[in-house]
Amino acid sequence: MPRRSSVLMPGFSHENPIPTASRIGPFLFSGVLTGRDPHTSTMPASLDAQCGNVFLHVRHLMAAAGGHVDDIVKMTFWLADYRDRMALNREWLEMFPDPASRPARQAMSAQLDRRALVQCDLVAVLEESRGDAGSP
């Protein structure tokens, strides 16, 4: 059995031959999660809709990995306009309402392609006993 396992997520894939995330032991690192609609794979025009989809992808990824959003220790966001954080903060507060238990977060400006207004990646530490539910 390989030490590293790929985590694949139904309805979400990259153009390139990479998994949604990779796991070694309890450590989970995602690739870039975009705001594409999970049903149509189209990119919504608004930052609100894209942020909603990003956070939905985060929830689905954590479930596919056998974890929970409480296992996330850091999230990095790239924004087309990094000062426009209202939609990001709204989703953030919904996912992480307790100020005493939020992951670290960084938001940076980026030139994104394909009409993307936001992208993120994350690092999580999962309980070993949960297994590799999302592994092939």
What's the pLDDT score for residue 1?
A: 67
Residue 42 burial by CB count (10 A; 0-12/13-18/19+): exposed, middle or buried? Answer: exposed
Query: What six digits make up the tokens of 58?
Result: 């985060």
Is 21:13 a contact under the CB 8 Å cutoff?
no
pTM, 2 dp: 0.90
User: Structural domain boundaries of the chain?
Assistant: 4-128
CATH topology of domain 4-128: 60s Ribosomal Protein L30; Chain: A; (3.30.1330)
Please report, to the nearest 10 degrees, the dihedral formed by the alpha carbons of residues 97, 101, 103, 105 taken in order: 60
Asked whether residue 136 carries a pLDDT value surpassing 50, the answer given is: no
- pLDDT tens for each residue of 13-44: 777 889 999 999 999 999 999 999 999 989 99
- pLDDT tens for each residue of 85-127: 999 999 999 999 999 999 999 999 999 999 999 999 999 999 9
